[in-house]
């Protein structure tokens, strides 16, 4: 969410951001609502001032004057009540539009409608050259007893899967590798809730934009669990959702709080299951475990001072951690600066890391790193007190340290051998318990 004062003073800039991010939003309508809303609030305050003055004057008036003054105040009450109702409807419409206003992207963000406009800004490692016919992660996983997609579909439905044997220890090993690295880097580890309130997803900016991607748990679950009478606390929660990333939970950890400047930056990392409906990816990557409904991820969230310079410095630090993990795994990767149409409404800057996946013959996205200035903090009301006592909104950042099993695709395919076995990366051998996975 942007400051309405900023929108008033920079309407052309905001309109350009709306256009460049491929959104459909009427900023002029928002500004008109804002003007009408302010006028009504001013009138409401004036009417209240009249009522306050009258309440002091009436006791001192004669009976005739009292009747006249009371009659006047009844008209004021009627007008006040009408304004109150108008403001309720107007406020709902106003907030609905405000929640859709995008952040202003950085000056160096590539402008374009989708990922085709992304710009490569870095690369690591040599693309492996195989002197034998390579296998996909599906072929490798099936032959080596690491992956069972058929039974996964039988149990879970489309995109369901089972990891088996060494795939399980490798899966948790790569997650632990990332988690331990983050703890050493000063991040506070958390296992966050994956069932979250709607307000949490609105706060992170996942709503209203990507609502179709999120699994919703209906109120009916409480009826089954608690009986016909839904407890008051369950009713108050409304609908609950399965988080697609731990980012919303980690952000909401400090919602409606005022932090101290001396404690910034606050660095959190969460390890959790993640759930995504993948509605928007129909027909894309339908085979294997590249695009699935549930997976696990180690996510980083940072709260820092309200400074672009500080945010961008921290964004580079977050990116460095992801790069270190991939380099320790000895996996080739490239970094791309996401375009305006591929970065999401709330992003100021966004970089994806794409790791080489031989069977695809291309890089596949494995990490995402974003700076959102105070766009999320305003929605979640996360502030900090400066040394001089003033109150400001924090800046927020988030980054994927690692996500699995997608990263297993790159590991298996890059480390495959001619005999169909998979060499285990050195940094994962203590978790897997062997150097090579073979039949």
Residues that are catalytic:
276, 291, 365, 368, 406
Joined tokens for residue 266: 């606050």
Contact, 354 vs 333, CB < 8 A? Answer: yes
Rounded CA separation 436/231 (Å): 54
Buried b (16+ CB within 10 A) or exposed e, 264-303: bbbbbbbbbebbbbbeeeeeeeeebbbbbbbbbbbbbbbb
Contact, 211 vs 99, CB < 8 A? Answer: no
Contact, 140 vs 422, CB < 8 A? Answer: yes
Contact, 402 vs 295, CB < 8 A? Answer: no
Largest CA distance in the chain: 106
Rounded CA separation 56/34 (Å): 33
133 vs 52, 419, 425, CA distance in Å? 86, 11, 21
User: How many whole angstroms from its chain centre is CA 398?
Assistant: 8
Q: How many Cβ atoms sit within 10 Å of the Cβ of residue 158?
A: 10
Joined tokens for residue 59: 């006791």
Helix (H) or strand (E) holding 49: helix 27-57
DSSP 74: H
User: How many whole angstroms from its chain centre is CA 268?
Assistant: 14
Rounded CA separation 187/179 (Å): 9
Which residues on neighbouring strands pair with residue 416, listed in sequence order?
Answer: 422
Contact, 336 vs 354, CB < 8 A? Answer: yes
Helix (H) or strand (E) holding 178: helix 166-184
Nearest to 251 by CA among 125, 389, 69, 376: 376
Rounded CA separation 394/194 (Å): 24
SS3 407: helix
């Amino acid at each position: 969410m942007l400051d309405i004062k900023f929108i008033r003073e920079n309407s052309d800039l905001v309109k350009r951001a709306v256009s460049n991010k491929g959104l459909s939003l009427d900023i002029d309508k928002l500004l008109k609502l804002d003007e009408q809303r302010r006028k009504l609030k001013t009138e409401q305050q004036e009417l209240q001032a009249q009522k306050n003055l009258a309440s002091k004057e009436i006791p001192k008036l004669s009976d005739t004057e009292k009747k006249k003054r009371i009659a006047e105040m009844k008209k004021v009450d009627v007008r006040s009540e009408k304004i109150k109702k108008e403001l309720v409807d107007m406020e709902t419409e106003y907030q609905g539009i405000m929640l859709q206003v995008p952040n202003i992207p950085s000056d160096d963000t590539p402008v374009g409608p989708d990922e085709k406009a992304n710009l490569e800004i870095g690369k690591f490692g040599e693309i492996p050259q195989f002197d034998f016919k390579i296998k996909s992660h599906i072929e490798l996983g099936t032959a080596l007893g690491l992956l069972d997609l058929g039974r996964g579909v039988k149990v879970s439905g489309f995109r369901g899967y089972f990891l088996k044997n060494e795939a399980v220890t490798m899966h948790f090993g790569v997650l632990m590798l990332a988690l331990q690295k983050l703890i050493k880097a000063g991040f506070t580890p958390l296992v966050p809730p994956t069932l979250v309130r709607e307000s949490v997803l609105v706060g992170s900016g996942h709503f209203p934009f990507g609502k179709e991607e999120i699994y919703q748990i209906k109120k009916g679950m409480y009826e089954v669990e608690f009986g016909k009478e839904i407890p008051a606390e369950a009713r108050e929660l409304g609908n609950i959702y399965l988080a697609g990333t731990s980012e919303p939970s980690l952000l909401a950890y400090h919602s409606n709080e005022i932090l101290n400047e001396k404690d910034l930056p606050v660095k959190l990392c969460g390890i959790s299951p993640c759930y995504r409906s993948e509605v928007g990816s129909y027909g894309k990557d339908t085979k294997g475990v590249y695009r699935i409904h549930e997976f696990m991820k180690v996510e980083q969230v940072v709260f820092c001072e309200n400074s672009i310079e500080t945010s961008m410095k921290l964004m580079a630090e977050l990116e460095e951690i992801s790069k270190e993990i991939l380099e320790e795994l000895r996996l080739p990767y490239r970094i791309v600066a996401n375009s305006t149409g591929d970065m999401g409404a709330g992003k100021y800057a966004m970089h994806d890391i794409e790791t080489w996946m031989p069977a695809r013959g291309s890089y596949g996205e494995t990490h995402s790193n974003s700076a959102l200035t105070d766009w999320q903090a305003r929605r979640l009301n996360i502030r900090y007190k400066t040394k001089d006592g003033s109150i400001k909104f924090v800046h927020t950042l988030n980054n994927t340290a690692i996500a699995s099993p997608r990263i297993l695709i790159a590991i298996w395919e890059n480390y495959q051998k001619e005999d169909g076995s998979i060499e285990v990366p050195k940094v994962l051998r203590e978790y897997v318990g062997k150097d090579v996975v073979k039949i």
